[in-house]
């Protein structure tokens, strides 16, 4: 019976952590000093800064400023600073932070990287499922955060 209580407590804590990460607004930064803004998630999906706004600056698959243009720096899966490079261990991979600057992990599909976001494995699965189509991965990610799609 004691083991059941422990499992219940652990499940409750994990659910709370999972819920709180989805209810929060996060920002994504890349570059050598993580000084390049790459969009927000958890913010209004209609914001031009939201990666969930397919017509916005950072969610548009044709924008050179975001992570979802496969021909641009952060969207190119072969670039060491791209979140879509499953082998990159570069410190220039984008990071996920809250508005206060608290670090939540490297925003990457490299699920083996230390300090990767806790949903890196999910992003990797989506990347594989959609054969590297990062626009479809973006939609899955937004759905994961409860924003459209």
In a domain, 6, yes or no: no
Give alpha helix (H) positions in the chain: 2-22, 120-129, 134-144
pLDDT digits (tens, 9 = 90+) for 3-23: 554 444 444 334 334 434 456
In a domain, 62, yes or no: yes
Q: What is the SS3 string spanning 116-148?
A: ECCCHHHHHHHHHHCCCCHHHHHHHHHHHCCCC
In a domain, 56, yes or no: yes
In a domain, 65, yes or no: yes
Structural domains counted in the chain: 1
> Where in the sequence is the domain holding 32, given as residue range(s)?
25-144
Distance between CA atoms of residues 62 and 33, nearest Å: 25
In a domain, 139, yes or no: yes
90: tokens are: 């570069």
Q: Is the Cβ–Cβ distance between 78 and 71 less than 8 Å?
A: no
Relative to beta strand 26-30, strand 103-106 is unpaired
In a domain, 31, yes or no: yes
In a domain, 10, yes or no: no
Q: What is the pTM of this model?
A: 0.83
pLDDT digits (tens, 9 = 90+) for 33-77: 999 999 999 999 999 999 999 999 999 999 999 999 999 889 999
In a domain, 107, yes or no: yes
126: tokens are: 């989506």
């Amino acid at each position: 019976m004691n083991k059941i209580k422990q499992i219940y407590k652990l499940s409750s804590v994990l659910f709370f952590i999972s819920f709180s990460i989805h209810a929060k607004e996060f920002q994504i930064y890349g570059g050598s000093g993580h000084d390049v803004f790459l969009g927000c998630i958890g913010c209004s999906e209609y914001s031009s800064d939201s990666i969930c706004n397919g017509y916005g600056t950072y969610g548009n698959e044709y924008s050179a400023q975001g992570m979802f243009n496969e021909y641009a720096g952060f969207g190119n899966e072969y670039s060491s600073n791209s979140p879509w490079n499953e082998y990159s261990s570069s410190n220039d991979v984008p990071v996920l932070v809250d508005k206060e600057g608290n670090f939540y992990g490297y925003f990457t599909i490299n699920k083996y990287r230390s300090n990767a976001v806790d949903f890196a494995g999910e992003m990797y699965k989506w990347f594989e499922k959609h054969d590297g189509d990062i626009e479809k991965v973006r939609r899955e990610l937004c759905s994961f955060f409860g924003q459209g799609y």
